[in-house]
Chain A
């Protein structure tokens, strides 16, 4: 899930690895690389595993998306030869996004709105928390950090289950709102409330945003901020003109790391609303994967999400690389 990316971004690991790669290719052969079959021997099992269970399955997806459907059993029949690929499944999905029979359009639009809204709320919440813990918390830092990463070790489903319990019709939330029986509150929170789904997304993913932000803010040079204040900037101005520009790469990375996984999320909506009124693109994928004859459509939708995610992913790698080179 999002978790591990956020973690490694938090440690600032991914970029060094990518950069080492570039440097290593340019470097002349070092002593230990010379004349030893040890490297290939160690790497080959992992390479074979990735080829067999990672690269080959991706080709199977393409073969099924561009393949046929068995007319009788409604099962997907993969077509292996790219020259015989038939784009009808992709066309079917694409033609149903906008227009009269746009059955996928509303869910796609809803996904965009929910993810943007949840991402924005996450940022508004995560930035102050990360700022406080990284820069101002003093000797409580270790303890606070442990509390901040606690959600990482609590299963996502457990956290959603906790809210399902609280949001029942006779649950604690309704009782809290009724102020001890003073008002009669009977809100059905768990039946297709967009607010609940967006807040559920925020609840589920905000921890993944705090950690990268924390790492970025922790690395800000204190002396630069002090210089800004010494030179007469107000508190607000030094934040706006020094702190914020310096952690722009971190913010971009944190937002992307949080929002990209939300694109494929279907379980939050399923757990907290279970209504087609709040279905996201992940729900479309999940529903069509499980119904016979729609396997190709599911594959096409997955490809669509992947295409939407690829551009920000590359942008992310570039921004973090630049941010690391600058610091």
Chain B
């Protein structure tokens, strides 16, 4: 048996302390969530004492389960609705913005690009308060609720696809498109048949990321939600977590968690398939994690 000093000085010893810290951290970060998921299957009302397995809080309970309680499933539907609508508007808008800015020189596009970057780094609460003021104190036809939420989310997310697509455009370079145009393609045809297919992985990645980010959003959607029927899951959790909720709340959060994990897993697998054999796009899980 060697002494602790010899152990410490051994240059080949395995990094046991770092392993302990890392796995301790992982346990600490994931086990609480796992426990919350487990308690969504609890048979009783308690979120702290295990009373047997059941799916009562998902659909079994005729009044308080997610399936039957209108307040809970509207929240889930509202979250998914916001995610889909926002993604459908944001991604085309952001991709067009990125391509347009990339091939337009001058002060105006430079200013627009700066504006986009500022919208990217500004704290969310500032945009939320600003839009709340606009909607509530100006005579506009926009009301609090889904429309205001979508407006705010699109504004907040538009920089995401724009930044990703611009980064991809920078790695692709101009040579492929110029070759296409030298061979007789019009600018529009070169864009459609050469650049766009090369941009597809970035566009797809930003679609997944925008969707996942929107269904996790809290600050914007809370200020811009009109009444309880437009409150998405995150707001519902915030409102009821401290007011003696049932495990149905855990069930609601679990459903959202699975929706997000499903989107990310499918997204990652498709992304990997798309970029297979393409060494200009960074591959592997690290790349998707980095973007993610």
Give A contacts to B, CB under 8 Å: 1, 3-5, 7-8, 10-14, 16-18, 20-21, 24-25, 29-33, 36, 38-47, 49-51, 53-58, 60-61, 64, 75-78, 125, 128-129, 131-133, 136-137, 142, 144-166, 168, 170-172, 190, 203, 206-207, 211, 215, 218, 235, 260-261, 263-264, 267, 270-271, 274, 282, 285, 289, 295, 298-299, 302, 305-306, 309, 313
B269 within 8 A of A: no
CB <8 Å contact, B253 and A161: yes
The answer to whether residues A235 and B233 also contact, given A4-B213, A50-B158, A203-B29 and a CB cut-off of 8 A, is: no
CB <8 Å contact, B212 and A153: yes
CB <8 Å contact, A298 and B129: yes
Distance, CA A40 to CA B291, complexed state (A) = 28
CB <8 Å contact, B22 and A53: no
CB <8 Å contact, A31 and B174: yes
CB <8 Å contact, B100 and A128: no
A-B contact pairs, 29 of them (CB 8 A): A5-B120, A24-B105, A32-B103, A32-B177, A32-B190, A33-B104, A38-B103, A39-B102, A43-B100, A43-B109, A46-B96, A49-B158, A53-B131, A54-B119, A57-B131, A76-B137, A125-B21, A136-B18, A152-B212, A158-B237, A165-B48, A165-B250, A170-B48, A206-B25, A260-B123, A263-B123, A271-B238, A289-B129, A299-B129
Q: A163 — which chain B residues lie within 8 A by C-beta?
A: 32
Residue of A nearest to B212 (CB): A153
Distance, CA A211 to CA B46, complexed state (A) = 36
B80 within 8 A of A: no
CB <8 Å contact, B174 and A30: yes
CB <8 Å contact, B127 and A160: no
Considering residues B110, B113, B137, B264, which has the most beta carbons from chain A within 10 angstroms of its beta carbon? B137
The answer to whether residues A46 and B241 also contact, given A20-B170, A154-B257 and a CB cut-off of 8 A, is: no
CB <8 Å contact, A33 and B233: no
CB <8 Å contact, B167 and A16: yes
B161 CB → nearest A CB, Å: 10
CB <8 Å contact, A8 and B137: no
Which residue from B21, B121, B178, B286 sits with its C-beta under 8 Å from A5?
B121
Distance, CA A61 to CA B130, complexed state (A) = 6
Q: A302 — which chain B residues lie within 8 A by C-beta?
A: 125-126, 129
CB <8 Å contact, A158 and B253: yes
B97 within 8 A of A: yes
Other than the known A61-B126, A162-B35, what 8 A-B pairs have Cβ atoms closer than 8 Å? A1-B218, A4-B120, A4-B160, A11-B282, A11-B287, A20-B170, A162-B32, A165-B250
Q: A299 — which chain B residues lie within 8 A by C-beta?
A: 129, 133
A281 CB → nearest B CB, Å: 10
Considering residues A21, A25, A207, which has the most beta carbons from chain B within 10 angstroms of its beta carbon? A21
CB <8 Å contact, B216 and A156: yes
Distance, CA A274 to CA B152, complexed state (A) = 27
Q: A38 — which chain B residues lie within 8 A by C-beta?
A: 100, 103, 187-188, 191
Interface residue range, chain B:
35 or more
The answer to whether residues A76 and B133 also contact, given A1-B216, A128-B21, A155-B256 and a CB cut-off of 8 A, is: yes
Residue of A nearest to B288 (CB): A149
Residue of A nearest to B26 (CB): A147
Distance, CA A321 to CA B108, complexed state (A) = 24
Residue of B nearest to A33 (CB): B103
Distance, CA A232 to CA B237, complexed state (A) = 56
Which residue from B18, B109, B120 sits with its C-beta under 8 Å from A132?
B18
Within 8 A of A (CB), among B60-109: 93-94, 96-97, 99-105, 108-109
Q: A21 — which chain B residues lie within 8 A by C-beta?
A: 110, 113
The answer to whether residues A45 and B96 also contact, given A159-B33, A302-B129 and a CB cut-off of 8 A, is: yes
Distance, CA A164 to CA B242, complexed state (A) = 8
Q: A53 — which chain B residues lie within 8 A by C-beta?
A: 131, 151-152, 154-155
The answer to whether residues A306 and B123 also contact, given A7-B291, A154-B260 and a CB cut-off of 8 A, is: yes
Distance, CA A271 to CA B154, complexed state (A) = 27
B15 within 8 A of A: yes
The answer to whether residues A39 and B123 also contact, given A21-B113, A132-B19 and a CB cut-off of 8 A, is: no
B265 CB → nearest A CB, Å: 9
CB <8 Å contact, A274 and B242: yes
Distance, CA A68 to CA B36, complexed state (A) = 47
CB <8 Å contact, B125 and A25: no
B162 within 8 A of A: yes
B124 within 8 A of A: yes
The answer to whether residues A289 and B291 also contact, given A153-B264, A162-B35 and a CB cut-off of 8 A, is: no
CB <8 Å contact, A32 and B18: no
B209 within 8 A of A: yes
Q: A132 — which chain B residues lie within 8 A by C-beta?
A: 15, 18-19, 21-22
Which residue from B15, B119, B138 sits with its C-beta under 8 Å from A136?
B15
CB <8 Å contact, B218 and A267: yes
CB <8 Å contact, B257 and A165: no
A247 CB → nearest B CB, Å: 16
CB <8 Å contact, A129 and B216: no
B30 within 8 A of A: yes
Distance, CA A31 to CA B105, complexed state (A) = 12
Q: A211 — which chain B residues lie within 8 A by C-beta?
A: 289-290
Distance, CA A19 to CA B187, complexed state (A) = 26
